[in-house]
Amino acid sequence: MKELNRLQNPYHDDKVIDACSIFGAMDTSGKRFSGKGVIRAIANMHDRGNGLGGGFAIYGLYPQYAELYAFHIMYLSQQGKQDVEAFLADRFHLIQAEEVPNRPTPAIVHPPLVWRYFLEVGRQKPEGQADDDYVVERVMEINTRFSDAFVFSSGKDMAVFKGVGYPEEIAEYFCLEQYEGYLWTAHGRFPTNTPGWWGGAHPFCILDWTVVHNGEISSYGINQRYLAQFGYHCTMQTDTEVVAYAIDLLIRKHGLPIEVAARVLAPPLWTDIERRPPGEQKLLRILRQVYGSLLLNGPFTVIIAHHGEMIGLTDRIRLRPLTVGTRDSMLYLSSEESAIRLVCPDLDEAWIPAGGEPVVGSLKTPRQTQPVAVAGASATLPDSRIVSR
């Protein structure tokens, strides 16, 4: 067993506390765009981080391998790499393996070796098990069993790039200005109780779900105990991990739509629920009764993304900032409005959503399985702010 905590939480705190800048940009028409703007925007919020973590998630990244799981793995030693590559060869059908391109920069010191692998689920998969479940299990296995190796990205046609440094330095190191995607999220981190560890940076990723998060979840203790009942074990001890697992449970396993899941994480006050029309009131009441232990209490803003959707959500009394901007088919989410204005000065609309109100951006045309997402232009965003207004 690898002592993840040795890296992630050396002082054995209850959980890893950090605060942050977050940014998300999505073209709801599905058109891929360069990350240059996103990098400028997150760099504009430099002072919200302290240089101990930065990262990006990019969707629509590998159209040439759209049907393959893309694993991004960081290695602390050559031995770790050899062990994991043998494991991958055994458990998966390996299509392509390469080092993630990077350029030496003065800001990035002692980077781990970062490789990416494009994989098909092999014949090792047990009969009847879903591909996704098999992949999740293997990721957990690598992350707990192999020393000196850590899978930090495991979805299809998307990837996470992250490390220790300011986000703009990470972007420079991984040459992110050269990539394109239809959805980007970014994060600058200000941890208060961990030395920098590359795996501890955001986004947090499992399959194609990613979370970037700003805040501290005061309900962490019970959220984590509740999730443990469903087989999720919070090995990283971060708030962000709790958010990711909660979303996976509610949406993937319990089949709730995202706007309903958001009402679990940030439910309306009881007095507010009692004022709603009968049908809605009943649903909201039952959600709180059943999932009360998943209420995320305390200050947070998250940007959750998976293929085709980007969701911004704050805690129900909005103790952390979130600003939304729209321009044509673009949806921006950011800790600060200035970052959006920097890259898109002439927004159609900009607003601050009420606490606990999810802002959802969805692809207008459901994502195709073709290598390139369907392009198209439209001036409105009918699917955003789904339940909020």
Partner 1 sequence: MKTYLPPKFLVTRDLAKCIRCEVCVNQCSFDNHYYDADDDEMKSRSENCVGCHRCVTFCPTGALTVRRNPLEYRENYNWRPEFIEDIIKQAESGGILLTGMGNDKGQRIYWDHLVLNASQVTNPSIDPLREPMELTTYLGRKPDRVTLGPDLNLEAELAPQVRLEVPIMFTAISYGAVSLNVHESLARAATEAGTLWNTGEGGLHPKLYKYGRNTIVQVASGRFGVHPDYLDVARVVEIKIGQGAKPGIGGHLPGEKVSAEVSSTRMIPQGTDALSPAPQHDIYSIEDLAQLIYALKEATHYTKPVSVKIAAVHNSAAIASGMVRAGADIIVLDGLRGATGAAPKIIRDNVGIPIELALASVDSRLRHEGIRSRASIVISGGIRNSGDVAKAIALGADAVNIGTAALVALGCRLCQQCHTGKCAWGICTSDLFLTKRVNPDIGARRLVNLLRGWSLELKEMLGGMGINAIESLRGNRLHLRGVGLTDTELDILGVRMAGS
Tell me if 53 sits within 8 A of 162, measured CB to CB: yes
Of 59-67, 111-119, 269-277, 336-344, the segment contacting partner 1 by CB under 8 A is 269-277
C-alpha–C-alpha distance, residues 313 and 169, integer Å? 27
Q: Are 37 and 325 in contact (CB under 8 A)?
A: no
What is the largest distance, in Å, between two alpha-carbon atoms of the chain?
61
Smallest gap from Cβ 309 to partner 1, in A, equals 17
Residue 102 or 297 having the CB closest to partner 1: 297
Residue of 20, 205, 234, 344 marked catalytic: 20
Both tokens of residue 362? 């969805």
Distance CA 119, CA 298 (A): 39
Does residue 19 belong to the site contacting partner 1 (CB under 8 A)? Answer: yes
Annotation says 205 is catalytic: no
Among residues 7, 9, 20, 27, the alpha carbon closest in space to that of 343 is found at: 27
Query: Does residue 10 interact with partner 1 by CB under 8 A?
Result: no
Options 6, 225, 233, 389; binder of partner 1; rule CB under 8 A? 225
Q: Does 347 bind partner 1 (CB under 8 A)?
A: no
The rounded distance, in Å, linking the Cα atoms of 341 and 323 is: 11
Least gap, CB of 347 to partner 1 (angstroms): 29
Binding mask 194-223 for partner 1 (x = CB under 8 A): ---------------------xx-xxxxx-
According to CB under 8 A, which one of 86, 175, 286, 375 is a site residue for partner 1?
Answer: 286
Per CB under 8 A, the list member of 260, 342, 350, 372 interacting with partner 1 is 260
**Residue 298 binds partner 1 (CB under 8 A):** yes
The stretch among 139-147, 203-211, 279-287, 339-347 that binds partner 1 (CB under 8 A) is 279-287
Give the amino acid at 45. M
Considering CB under 8 A, how many residues would be counted as binding partner 1? 44
Window 87 to 146, contacts with partner 1 (CB under 8 A): none
Please, what is the minimum distance in Å from the beta carbon of residue 19 to partner 1?
A: 7
> Where would I find the H helices in 56-121?
78-91
CA gap 224, 1 in Å, rounded? 21
- Distance, CA of 94 to CA of 268 (rounded, Å): 47
For 384, phi and psi rounded to 5 degrees? -80, 165
CB nearer to partner 1: pick between 168 and 239: 239
The span of 63-71, 98-106, 204-212, 228-236 binding partner 1 (CB under 8 A) equals 228-236
Residues 6+ apart with CB under 8 A from 251: 257, 258, 261
Q: Closer to partner 1 at the Cβ: 224 or 329?
A: 224
Window of 27-35, 56-64, 98-106, 256-264 that interacts with partner 1 by CB under 8 A: 256-264
Q: Which two tokens stand for residue 75?
A: 């290695």
Interface mask toward partner 1 for 143-182; x: CB under 8 A: ----------------------------------------
Is residue 3 near partner 1 by the rule CB under 8 A? no
Query: Among residues 6 and 225, whose Cβ is nearest to partner 1?
Result: 225
Sign of CA pseudo-dihedral 57, 331, 22, 255 = negative
Q: Is 12 in the site for partner 1 (CB under 8 A)?
A: yes
Selected binder of partner 1 within 7, 119, 256, 344 (CB under 8 A): 256
For the stretch 39-42, contacts whose Cβ atoms lie closer than 8 Å and that sit 24 or more positions apart, written own/partner, are 39/167, 39/168, 39/171, 39/176, 39/177, 39/186, 40/342, 40/343, 41/186, 41/332, 41/334, 41/339, 41/340, 41/342, 41/343, 42/167, 42/168, 42/171, 42/186, 42/187, 42/188, 42/339
Among positions 3, 6, 10, 14, the unique one binding partner 1 when judged by CB under 8 A: 14
Q: What's the closest the beta carbon of residue 229 comes to partner 1, in angstroms?
A: 5
Helix locations, the chain, DSSP H: 4-8, 36-43, 78-91, 131-145, 167-173, 220-228, 239-247, 258-265, 270-273, 278-291, 337-343
Q: Which amino acid is at 360?
A: V
Q: What are the residues binding partner 1 (CB under 8 A)?
A: 12, 14-15, 17, 19, 192, 215-216, 218-222, 225-226, 228-230, 253-257, 260, 269-271, 282-283, 286-293, 295, 297-299, 316-317, 319
* Residues annotated as part of the active site: 20
